Amino acid sequence: MPELPEVETTVRQLQRKVRGRTFIDVWTDFKRIIKRPSGLEKFKERLKSKKIQRVWRRGKNIIFDLSGYCSLLVHQKLTGHLLLGKWKKKGKIWQPPPGPLSDRVNTYIHLLLTFDNGQQLALSDLRKFAKVELFNKDELKKELSSLGPEPLDKSFTLETFKETLQQTQGKIKQVLMDQTVIAGIGNIYSDEILWQAKIHPFKKISQLSRKELKNIYQAMRKVLSLAIKLCGESISDYRTLSGESGFFDKARKVYRREGEKCSRCGKIIKRIKLAGRSAHFCPNCQPL
C-alpha cells in the first residue's frame, strides 16, 4: 500500500500539474470504487464543472479541494496509484501513450477523470480496493478526525511524539502503523524506521527508554524525508504520476530483504509475523 512518502510524492506532483483544472467527465468500469455519493451518475453530476483549488495529503489520503465547498478524497489502498496523461479507448481497453504509462503495472485502469485541457487523471488498481469519495468540507473534517498527527509536521516535536506514544500500549511496530496514533506510516517504513533506530519490532512501548524514543523519532523524520526526496518505494505497484518508479529501493535496508546480509553489521536479516503482517529486522542490530 502506498504510504506517506508515496502519497506525498503524488500530491506534490498533482499540485503542480492539475491545480486550476476543471473536471468535465468521469468514466469507470467498476462502480464500487466510488463510495460517496452512491451511484456513478450522482458522482459525475457533483464532480463536473468543479475546479481544483488545492491538492493536499492527510495520512494516506489524497484530497482535492474543489470549488463549491466540496472535496474529492482518493485512498489508493493496496495496489492503487494515480496517473496523469491521455488515454485512447480501443474497444473496452484504454490505450496509454508510449512510455512509462504503458508499463504493465499502470494498465489496470478502472477510473478516468477528464479535465478541461483534455488531460486525464487515471486510477490504476490491480486489486480494485481503492476508494473515491466526494464530501462537503465539513463532512471531510469529520471523516479525517480519527487520524493521528502528521509525523513530519513542525508541530509534531520530540516531546509531542513521546507524549503520543506514552498514551498507547503494544508493540512498537504495531503502534507506528496505527493511523489513529501517527498518520501515514505502514509496513515498509515502520521496518525501515526501526532498523535505523536499532529497535526490535516486538519491543513494547512501555519498555522503550527516553533515548530509544528519541532514536525512533529521529529515524522517523530521517527515513520519511529521504523517501519523499527519492519519490517513494516501487517494490510493488506504486508508480509516480507519470508512471515511473520511485527510487527509495536504493535506500531500502530491511523491508523484504530477509535472507540478505544487514548492510550495517553483516548478519542475516529475518522476517517474522506480527498480527498477520510481516516485520523485517536484523536480530543483531535490533535485539529484543
Residues 81 and 169 in one domain: no
Residues 120 and 197 in one domain: no
ω into 37 cis (within 30 of 0): yes
Cβ burial of 214 (10 Å; 0-12, 13-18, 19+) is middle
Euclidean distance between CA atoms 204 and 225, whole angstroms? 26
Q: How confident is the model at residue 84 (pLDDT cuts 50, 70, 90)?
A: very high
Residue 148: inside a domain, yes or no? no
Residues 171 and 247 in one domain: yes
Euclidean distance between CA atoms 277 and 21, whole angstroms? 40
Residues 14 and 100 in one domain: yes
pLDDT digits (tens, 9 = 90+) for 189-223: 999 999 999 999 999 999 999 999 999 999 999 99
200 contacts: CB under 8 Å, gap ≥ 6: 172, 194, 281, 286, 287, 288
Residue 265: inside a domain, yes or no? yes
Mark which of 111, 143, 175 sits at the end of a domain.
143
Average pLDDT over all residues of the chain: 97
Residue 149: inside a domain, yes or no? no
**pLDDT surpassing 90 at residue 103:** yes
Mark which of 113, 143, 173 sits at the end of a domain.
143
The fraction of the chain above a pLDDT of 90, given in percent, is 97
Residues 91 and 195 in one domain: no
Q: How confident is the model at residue 24 (pLDDT cuts 50, 70, 90)?
A: very high
φ, ψ dihedrals at 201, nearest 5°: -65, -25
Angle at 128 between CA 125 and CA 134, to 5 degrees: 90
Residues 131 and 94 in one domain: yes
**Once rounded to an integer, what is the mean pLDDT over residues 233-238?**
96
Residues 264 and 232 in one domain: yes
- Cell triple for residue 249? 529501493
- Active-site residue, selected from the candidate residues 2, 96, 151, 201: 2
Q: What is the pLDDT, as a whole number, of residue 205?
A: 97
Single out the residue of 228, 219, 213 nearest to residue 254, CA to CA: 219
Number of domains in the chain: 2
Q: Does residue 104 carry a catalytic annotation?
A: no
Mark which of 109, 143, 177 sits at the end of a domain.
143
CATH code of the domain covering residue 241: 1.10.8.50
Residue 116: inside a domain, yes or no? yes
Q: What is the pLDDT, as a whole number, of residue 91?
A: 86
Q: Does residue 17 carry a catalytic annotation?
A: no
Residues 106 and 15 in one domain: yes
Q: What is the pLDDT, as a whole number, of residue 47?
A: 98
Residue 57: inside a domain, yes or no? yes
Q: Does residue 3 carry a catalytic annotation?
A: yes
Q: What is the pLDDT, as a whole number, of residue 92?
A: 82
CATH code of the domain covering residue 54: 3.20.190.10
Q: What is the pLDDT, as a whole number, of residue 34?
A: 97
**Once rounded to an integer, what is the mean pLDDT over residues 253-269?**
98
Euclidean distance between CA atoms 105 and 156, whole angstroms? 36
**Once rounded to an integer, what is the mean pLDDT over residues 261-270?**
98
Residue 151: inside a domain, yes or no? no
- Active-site residue, selected from the candidate residues 204, 270, 277, 283: 277
Residue 64: inside a domain, yes or no? yes
**pLDDT surpassing 90 at residue 275:** no
- Active-site residue, selected from the candidate residues 21, 46, 50, 60: 60
- Active-site residue, selected from the candidate residues 3, 6, 8, 133: 3
Q: How many residues does the chain have?
A: 288
Residues 166 and 126 in one domain: no
Q: Does residue 267 carry a catalytic annotation?
A: no
Q: What is the pLDDT, as a whole number, of residue 93?
A: 87
Q: What is the pLDDT, as a whole number, of residue 1?
A: 87
Residue 150: inside a domain, yes or no? no
Q: What is the pLDDT, as a whole number, of residue 22?
A: 98
Residues 104 and 30 in one domain: yes
Parent domain of 139:
4-143
